[in-house]
């Protein structure tokens, strides 16, 4: 299993496009929001020790991503909760598809 950030982003973007819930965003904003969520998630994983065998706490990660995306994109603050929920679901689907999740 090799994590490929570009492949993950492409997978996530495709899922968002298929769902269509955020098609109202200004052009390029969804891409920037996904990039920011990926950055925030990577920071959470580093800080929490997930990369070194620690446990990924969905609730703590959600709070980090939600507050970070909301701060970075205040014009979409009313949509950030739904965006982060979808992002986390799509990211988990990608990770599972490449065998990167240990379901203990």
CA 76 – CA 37 distance, rounded (Å):
14
- Note the pTM of the prediction, 2 decimals: 0.93
Q: What confidence score (pLDDT) does residue 2 get?
A: 78
In the predicted model, is pLDDT for residue 21 greater than 80? yes
Cα→Cα distances 13→21, 32, 50, 63, Å: 12, 11, 24, 21
Do 1 and 71 meet the contact criterion of CB atoms below 8 Å apart?
no
Domain ranges of the chain: 5-97
Q: What confidence score (pLDDT) does residue 104 get?
A: 60
| Ramachandran sector of residue 54 (left: φ over 0; alpha: ψ -120 to 50; beta: rest) | beta
Q: Which tens digits make up the pLDDT trace of 50-104?
A: 888 888 999 999 999 999 999 999 999 999 999 999 999 999 999 999 988 876 6
């Amino acid at each position: 299993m090799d994590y490929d950030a570009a492949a993950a982003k492409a997978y996530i973007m495709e899922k968002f496009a298929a769902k269509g819930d955020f098609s109202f965003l200004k052009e390029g904003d969804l891409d920037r929001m996904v990039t920011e969520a990926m950055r925030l998630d990577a920071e959470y994983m580093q800080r929490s020790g997930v990369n070194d065998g620690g446990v990924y706490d969905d609730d703590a990660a959600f709070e980090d991503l939600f507050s970070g995306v909301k701060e970075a994109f205040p014009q979409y603050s009313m949509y950030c909760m739904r965006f982060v929920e979808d992002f986390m679901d799509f990211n988990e689907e990608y990770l599972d598809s490449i065998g990167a999740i240990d379901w203990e």
